[in-house]
């Protein structure tokens, strides 16, 4: 896995993605091994490009839009290569929503409701498993971005 930091404060991860196995369903195209390039612009606009061994590609775009201090609407867009040899686009969006709903439920149960970003006052800790590398990068870059933005507003 390679994570690079961009001058705009965002970051990019390039990594092989292993095949996912499930005992209760046959693995399909979306669970097959592929290459993933995830690019994030802060505060939180993300594109995920997946390139499969057969040459197929798909790009997911994720844009959260705040409604209130505690709620947002997440917009998803999907582009797939012509003649994509996998599930049709509507099924892919349904799958993404199902997976992301698991994260949404965890976020809605977190306490405190707002994630503190000041480590000196009980803020974000450091996650320690290899799978947490991207989350750690997001936390560090968001903290830097927020600090820079608040400094600009104070000046």
Is residue 141 in some structural domain? no
Angstrom distance (rounded) from CA 124 to CA 127: 9
Q: Any alpha helices (H) in 110-132, and if so which ranges?
A: none
Is residue 49 in some structural domain? yes
Per the structure, how many domains does the chain have?
1
Is residue 155 in some structural domain? no
Per-run averaged pLDDT (10 residues), the chain, 155 residues: 83 86 70 90 88 94 88 89 92 84 80 63 54 71 74 61
Output the pLDDT for position 107: 75
Is residue 7 in some structural domain? yes
Q: Is the pTM of this model over 0.75?
A: no
Residue 46 sits at φ, ψ, to 5 deg, of -130, 140
Q: Which residues pair with 149 in a beta bridge?
A: none
Output the pLDDT for position 127: 52
* CB proximity list for 58: less than 8 A, separation 6 or greater: 49, 50, 78, 79, 80, 81, 84, 92
Domain region containing 46: 2-115
Is residue 100 in some structural domain? yes
Angstrom distance (rounded) from CA 92 to CA 89: 5
Output the pLDDT for position 25: 59
């Amino acid at each position: 896995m390679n994570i690079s930091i961009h001058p705009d404060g965002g970051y990019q991860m390039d990594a092989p993605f292993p095949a996912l196995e499930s005992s209760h369903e046959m693995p399909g195209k979306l669970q097959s091994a592929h290459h993933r390039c995830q690019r994030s612009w802060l505060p939180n606009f993300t594109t995920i490009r997946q390139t499969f061994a057969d040459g197929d590609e798909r790009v997911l775009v994720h844009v959260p839009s705040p409604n209130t201090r505690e709620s947002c609407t997440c917009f998803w867009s999907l582009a797939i290569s012509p003649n994509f040899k996998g599930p049709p686009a509507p099924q892919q969006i349904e799958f993404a929503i199902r997976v992301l709903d698991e994260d949404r439920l965890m976020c809605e149960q977190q306490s405190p409701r707002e994630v503190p970003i000041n480590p000196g006052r009980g803020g974000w800790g450091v996650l320690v498993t290899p799978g947490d590398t991207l989350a750690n990068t997001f936390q560090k870059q968001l903290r830097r971005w927020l600090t820079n933005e608040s400094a600009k507003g104070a000046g």
